[in-house]
Every structure is written in C-alpha cells, then in structure tokens.
Structure 1
C-alpha cells in the first residue's frame, strides 16, 4: 500500500466504482465525486496529490471544453495537484492540447489496468516531488529569515556561565522541552542554538520565532501555515514555522507575550504534535524539539491568571536561567574581544586593539541591555574610531561623568534610571531609538519608564 491522496471526478458512477476498487489495492486514499461542482470543496479541505478528471460531463458533449475549464480550476486551487485526463479515443488530440494547460498526462477509455496503474504511479511520483520542492522552498524562505546571528557561540568562563554550559551539555542530547529564562539581551537565543547544535537534530532546521512580533491575526498563519485563499492576502499555499522545523528545533521567543487565546492554540499543538493549516481541516504530523524563552516571570503570571499553568508545565521540562552581564563580569574581556574581531573584520579595521584600562571601565558600567547593548556599543566604537585603538572617547557613556561619582555603586535601580533617562535625552525623546540602544523592547522600555516615573 502506497501513501497518496487521489481524487477521481467523473459523471459515470460505474467508472468511479471501477477506478476506486482498482486503485484502492495500491493507494491509501481514493475519493470519488460524480460532479465537478464539488471540486472546490474537496481541494479547499484537503491536499490531493493526483486528480483523475473526465473531459466531458454533459450528455452528448464531446468538445472537452468542460474538462479544460475544470483543469484550470484545479490548477488554480491546488497547483501541486497533478491532473490526469480521462478521455475517449477520438479526443486524444484535445487531451494533448490540454497538457499545455497544465495536465500531467491522459488515459484513453477504455483502459488496461496495467496502463492505468503505470500512468498513475508516474504522476504520483511527480506530485510528491513537487510537494517536496514546495516544502523546501517554503522552508528555505523561513530559514533565510531566521539565519544564525553574528554572535552564535556560547562565550564565557565565569562560574555563572559554566553552570549554564553544563546544563546545556546534559539536556542537548535529549528531546526534552526547554524553557530559557533571562533578561533582554542576555543571549537566550544563543543558548537555544547551542542546544540545537549539540543535539541529535543538529543537521536539521533551527527555526526561531519572535512571538512578541507576531500579531494575533497572523499567529496561526505564521506558525501553522495556510492554504491559498484562506484569507485575503493568502495568494499561495504556505507551510508554517512548525512544519518548516519538523525534524529539527523550533525556538519560541517571548512566549510570555502570548494572549490566553493564543496560549490555548499553542498548547493544543504542543500536546498533539499536529498542526492544521488555515483553510483546511487536515492535520499534519510534526516532529520538533521545543525550546521557549521569556524575560517574564511565568510562575507569577500563572498566579495572576495571565499564563496557563498547563502550558508552563508543558514547556519547562528543563529550565535554564541566563545570568545578566553584571553577574558575569569575568566574561567581558572575552566578549569584547569577540565583538572587536567581528566588527573589525566587517568594517575593514582588522588591527584594532583595546586597552585593559578601557575594558575595566566597561566592566564598571551598568548594562541594562546586557550583551546586546555591549555588542552595539563595540560596533559603534569600531565604526567611529579614528586610530587603531579604541579609547574611552569612542564610548560616549564612558566619556561622561564617571557613574560612580553620580550614584552609589550598589544602587542598581538608580543606575538603570540614569541610563534610561540619558538614552531618551540622547535620542531627543525617541523612545524606539532609545530602547534599541539599551537593547530593550518598546514594551520593556515603557515599563521601566513607568517604574522610575520618567516622562
């Protein structure tokens, strides 16, 4: 028994029965309809690999115009569905003409079963190849938009990071779901990619999804996929992120931002490991490793009724907390040198150096945006520096009054308020730009502004 879905359309019930009984010996799913008016419903609800289509549907009609009309309709609704035309001997020339319209081949009535089976097998192989090509193309589009970031390696020798790296080494070779916690900019996606690279799925896809950036109206389309025509802008069939990641790993970032309704939809998929594309009722099996991340306190959100407890239990078989940069100061020289080499090569300034004195000043700086803020600071310094050595003047925040002279070293809230206030002032009130410089999302920026009463 071969896998494959075949739709047979003919107004002769005897032919439908004959074809169905014969092909059911070889293929898993054969559906017959005796009117082409049902074609749209069938192709909207299910993905058929092959359609066997009669050329004429009205008594005494021999022109084949109806067959051509419905052939075009099938190719419009489901371009990947291969079409075999069933025609009388005298209509062979018409059938050949129809192949120019998109038909794969034709079968002359009455047929020999061996010839019918051979033609169907050839068309099915072509259909499955086409499906694979379309899936790969969709997958490549998603992969290209979620390619590894420049900073893709775990860097650190501090005690805090050694603990993280140890947990990653233990969990990577399993398929356990992982929840990564940590502030914005600490490197949660870097940790997720490290888990994937050390796993048995390393040679399969790693798909990263920023749930905070997907609107509620597009959530199902982006994650689960859609059929052509499922909504206004659905101009072609598209697989979702889950199906693209099948065999590999999907990383769901900012999972704490999901509304209760979206949490329920996600939980259903995580429990069943099946997705249903918008515009269909057909569930597709997925085989993915789930890694989630958030900077939110999900346990507190559960208490407040803002996050589903059953979803939390589903995603956090293993929890990993990434420490903020201020708790891993011993890693800063390594991180600084990494970014210096990265951006020195990118901007053709390969001989740049940075002194121990400047590194020590950078270590004393408060980093509310964590590694992301440090990365952007090094990139700006590399771009703006005039000589071959980065100095304090290349870091605007270091050339201002020493933070230690302004605030008590141990009052981190004052330091954070000071950083936010100065970033807003620097960008002349543009909250988006200030948040980006600090490595914060707009939402996180506004929450901190409210906390410190910054207008």
Structure 2
C-alpha cells in the first residue's frame, strides 16, 4: 500500500461536494478536513498546516462571478504566502482560469470533475508544496549561515597576542585586492583565514573557490585550474571551465602551494601575470578577475633560496603574509577554544555538558598538539562522545605524553644520509605511501621528495 501523503483542506458550501471529496481522497492522503463556512478558514489554518487547500469560488446561491473565492484566496495567502490553493467551480472558463492563476492560485478544477484528473492535479499540487517547503528550508538555512558569516572571525577564535595580531592583519587587508600568503603548520586554520578574508572583502557576494594543490596530479593540473574544451583529451566529453574561471569576480584560495613542481609554478605565474587563462585544447585566452590567497605549511622562503620555488612567483603571491601560530604557542586560548568546541559537540551529540574542568584544561595545555587546532577539536569531540559525566576531566583525554624536542627514533648510525633515509621511510609509512602528505610533513616539495626516494632506492 502506498504511503499516505499530504494534509488537505476543502472549503465548499455544498456538503455533497465535500462528502465526495472526502471519500475520494481519504484513502490516499494523510488527512482531509472539510468545511462549508469560509469564515472558519483562518481558524483552521491557525490550528494546522495544510499542504493543499481546495477552495470553492462561489459561496452565495446563484453566484457565478467568483468574487468571493478571490477574496478568500487573498486572505489565505496573507496568512501563508506559500499556500497551495486549487480553485473549484462549476462555471470554469479560460478567463477565470487566467485570473485565478494571476491572483495566486496554483490550478483550477471544474466540477463535476473526473476523478483521475482531480487526483493528478492534487498530486502535482502536493509536489509543489513540498518543493516550496524545501526552498523555504534552504532559505532559512542560508540565512542562519549568513548570520554566522557576518561575524568577522566566526570560524576561529582566540585572545592570545599572536591571534590578535592575525585578526588585526585580516581587518587591514581584507577590503583590498592584495595577494595574501598564509603560513602555518597543518591544522592551524589556514583555510579559515582565507574564508574570513573573503567574507570581509568587496568580493564577498561572489565565489570563493578553494583548491588543494597537493591533491591535484601534475597531469590534471592545467585541466583542473584552467579548464579544457571538448576533445582536448580522451575523457574531455564537454567543455569545462577551470577553477580560475569559476572564481572570476571572487576569490581563489590555493592551498599547499609549496608542493607545486617548478614547471607548474611557471604555468601558474604566467596566469597571474597575464590575468587570463587558456583552456586545454583552446587557442583563445579568457580574461579572469580574481583575488588570490595562497597557503603553505612548508618553509617556502628557504625553498626559494635553494631554487626549489621560483622567487618571482613568491614575490607575486606574498604581497602580505599572515603567519598563523601553532596551538602550543597559544596558551591563553585553550579555555575559550576548548569550551567553544565543547559547546559545538555537546549540541551535536545531544549531551548536556558543563565547562571544562581545571584539571582537563591543565592536561590540554601541557600537550604538544602536533595536529594543532584540527587535532584539538577531534580530541574534544571524542571526549564528549565517550564521557559518562556532565563535565570532562583530565581522565577523559588520552594524550600521548611526548617531549617535542626528544628524539622518537633510536639511531643505529649518525650518517646523515642514513638518518634522512630512515626518517623518510617512517613518514611514508605513517601516511600509507601518500607522497604529497609525506612531503608536506617533511617540509619538502613533492619533486624534492621524489629525488630523495630515487637517491635512496625507496
């Protein structure tokens, strides 16, 4: 048996009509309410949300103008602007149909009706109502997100001097089109800074396109960033714009830019200098208007000094630098940050939690946090999920006690090549052979790591 769907209100001065409607619709709809007196419409609508309202056009004997129906249609739409109303009348004609639709009705049913046609009309009306509900939900969701986005630093918080410096720099440069380079370890919130810069810029109503350069292979780099035309290569079934075109008018965020090989750096530099892209397989360039924000966790200036990163590209991308501090250097931020995540995850997992205990905060501040804020929030969420108490203590956090300055590997040799080989092997194993992630943790470009892998036969 098909699931019953929809709550219907039928208003007609003819009780026989209402009885027929009820018998026809009762087996297939969730509920049907019938009423002969239109004066009760506001009261009925205040008690229940109807998906479809069937409304007679004439309530006085011998009336054929439909004036009453239009009056009640107006009142219904004043109560609920998204209401789906179907007019029913024995005197249907094209002129009334057009007038009804213009007045806000969804459709027009002539009585006596054909059952199949009426059921099809109501089915379409229910689908329309569901679509309107979904649109309203999305609008409310967007409004909520926008209200959060209107807060300058809604996504990341802090009261430490180093974070105040970051916030100050963002405020100074956000409204400009200056190219920004964000530096910082993994997990410090580089993309959050980029999004905050975009939200406070003059381009805030345009696109923000984020690209993880470490996740794009060299063979796909041009197609992903600059686009391609149909037939440019085997899988190019249609024309496709690249990320730069999609970001035109707005902001493009290139994460892990330190991982780019020298040939790709050259191609990127050409695009930034000319402010235009040429799709793969095309001859004509397309102009772009983007605000560029880049980020890296590598020591990019050192790479430039040894010619592993182009100096001219570095000058192009770092008009202003924002250096994000690691979490271990933000001691003042642990209480506010910890309770911020505690509030988020207690709501997410429907648990009522008190603020972090002093013993919990003490243990959290003593940990080194190699994964920074990203690791910190995961630790808080895990503790919230597993805790049976309304307050987290030091016993809820299983953190490895580790001195960041100590050597975690026992060395059999002090030969630097052998040490480097063992470190590379260890990091590759930790990242399950992912060269991009291993290179990022080692502070190398992928090209540099590949050279070392070849050198050591790994």
- Range into which the TM-score falls when normalised by the shorter chain: 0.5 to 0.7
Number of the residue aligned with 2:406: 414
Q: How does 1:315-354 map to 2 (within 5 A)?
A: 315-351=317-353, 353-354=355-356
After alignment, is 227-236 or 365-374 more displaced?
A: 227-236
Is the 1:276–1:284 Cα contact (8 Å) retained in structure 2?
yes
Number of the residue aligned with 1:67: none
Cα distance in 2, alignment partners of residues 306 and 350 from structure 1: 52
Is the 1:152–1:193 Cα contact (8 Å) retained in structure 2?
no
Secondary structure of the 2:294 match is strand
Cα distance in 2, alignment partners of residues 224 and 287 from structure 1: 13
Number of the residue aligned with 1:107: none
Number of the residue aligned with 1:50: none
Number of the residue aligned with 1:431: 430
Task: Give the Å deviation of 1:299.
Answer: 1.6
Task: Give the Å deviation of 1:415.
Answer: 7.9
Is the 2:229–2:239 Cα contact (8 Å) retained in structure 1?
yes
Task: Give the Å deviation of 1:208.
Answer: 0.8
Secondary structure of the 1:176 match is coil
After alignment, is 275-284 or 305-314 more displaced?
A: 275-284
Number of the residue aligned with 1:369: 371
Task: Give the Å deviation of 1:433.
Answer: 7.9
Task: Give the Å deviation of 1:152.
Answer: 5.9
Using the size of structure 1 for normalisation, the TM-score is: 0.57
Q: How does 1:190-201 map to 2 (within 5 A)?
A: 190-201=192-203
Secondary structure of the 1:296 match is coil
After alignment, is 251-260 or 333-342 more displaced?
A: 333-342
Q: 1:275 aligns with which of 267, 272, 277?
A: 277
After alignment, is 326-335 or 169-178 more displaced?
A: 326-335
CA change 1:246–1:350 in 2 (3 A) is farther
Q: Deviations over 1:330-370 (max 9, x none)?
A: 11111111211222222222435421220121011111111
Is the 2:298–2:440 Cα contact (8 Å) retained in structure 1?
no
The answer to whether structure 1 residue 170 and structure 2 residue 169 are counterparts is no
Number of the residue aligned with 2:251: 249
Q: CA RMSD in A?
A: 3.1
Q: Deviations over 1:173-203 (max 9, x none)?
A: 1101011111111111111111111111111
Q: 1:443 aligns with which of 419, 439, 450?
A: 439
Cα distance in 2, alignment partners of residues 250 and 446 from structure 1: 26
Cα distance in 2, alignment partners of residues 416 and 209 from structure 1: 34
Cα distance in 2, alignment partners of residues 434 and 351 from structure 1: 40
Using the size of structure 2 for normalisation, the TM-score is: 0.56
CA change 1:386–1:434 in 2 (3 A) is farther
Q: Deviations over 1:189-230 (max 9, x none)?
A: 111111111111111111111111100001011111111222
Number of the residue aligned with 1:9: none
Q: Deviations over 1:43-95 (max 9, x none)?
A: xxxxxxxxxxxxxxxxxxxxxxxxxxxxxxxxxxxxxxxxxxxxxxxxxxxxx
CA change 1:322–1:447 in 2 (3 A) is closer
Number of the residue aligned with 1:141: none
CA change 1:208–1:340 in 2 (3 A) is same
Task: Give the Å deviation of 1:285.
Answer: 0.9
Cα distance in 2, alignment partners of residues 292 and 152 from structure 1: 21
Q: How does 1:57-136 map to 2 (within 5 A)?
A: none
Runs of at least 4 residues of structure 1 off by over 6 A?
415-418
The answer to whether structure 1 residue 160 and structure 2 residue 162 are counterparts is yes
Secondary structure of the 2:188 match is coil
Is the 1:366–1:416 Cα contact (8 Å) retained in structure 2?
no
Is the 2:299–2:443 Cα contact (8 Å) retained in structure 1?
no
Number of the residue aligned with 1:225: 227
CA change 1:279–1:444 in 2 (3 A) is closer
Task: Give the Å deviation of 1:326.
Answer: 1.3
Number of the residue aligned with 2:26: none
Task: Give the Å deviation of 1:445.
Answer: 4.4
How many residue pairs match? The answer is 280
Cα distance in 2, alignment partners of residues 352 and 234 from structure 1: 55
Q: 2:182 aligns with which of 180, 183, 199?
A: 180
Cα distance in 2, alignment partners of residues 236 and 396 from structure 1: 51
Task: Give the Å deviation of 1:155.
Answer: 0.6
Cα distance in 1, alignment partners of residues 263 and 286 from structure 2: 21
Is the 1:181–1:319 Cα contact (8 Å) retained in structure 2?
yes
Is the 2:209–2:251 Cα contact (8 Å) retained in structure 1?
yes
Cα distance in 1, alignment partners of residues 169 and 265 from structure 2: 27
CA change 1:190–1:348 in 2 (3 A) is same
Task: Give the Å deviation of 1:162.
Answer: 0.7
Task: Give the Å deviation of 1:417.
Answer: 7.2
Q: 2:396 aligns with which of 394, 397, 400?
A: 394
Query: What are structure 1's unaligned runs of at least 5 residues?
Result: 1-147, 419-428, 451-455
Is the 2:226–2:241 Cα contact (8 Å) retained in structure 1?
yes
Is the 2:188–2:324 Cα contact (8 Å) retained in structure 1?
yes
